[in-house]
Amino acid sequence: MRWFPTMSTTSFSSIIADSDQASSGKWIIEHPGPLWEEIEDAAIEGQLLAVKKARDHSMVCVYCISSDQETAAATLAILRDIGVEGELRYKSDRATEQRQDEYLYDSGDFEPRLTPI
């Protein structure tokens, strides 16, 4: 997949550490549609650390400086405030570097799941 350059007001670059939690990582948003502009604005305003978009507009990555639960949850909360809905997956940059297909979290790990009555 080809990507547009990463957008960040902090000169962000990935951190690959000895653990997933200490490495940077990203929430993966598939088919963001018109929400891309809201995500982009949040990055420009400094609400989000860094974002990048696939050239075919099929995916957006929203980066976190580390992959600990607190940082991932805080970024997810911002995405929800922007209007991003649905199930999201989170992958550490360490896992990406090692070409692993495993995700560290999904959004349900941080949000209450609705169960039918």
CA atoms within 13 A on the CB side of 57: 7
In tens, the pLDDT along 18-77 reads 999 999 999 999 999 899 999 999 999 999 999 999 999 899 999 999 999 999 999 999
Domain boundaries, the chain: 25-109
Confidence of residue 113 (pLDDT cuts 50, 70, 90): low
pLDDT at 57: 86
Rounded to whole angstroms, how far apart are CA atoms 30 and 95? 19
H-run or E-run covering 58: none
Check: CB of residue 76 under 8 Å from CB of residue 31: no
Residue 77: which residues within 8 A CB-CB, separation 6 or more?
A: none
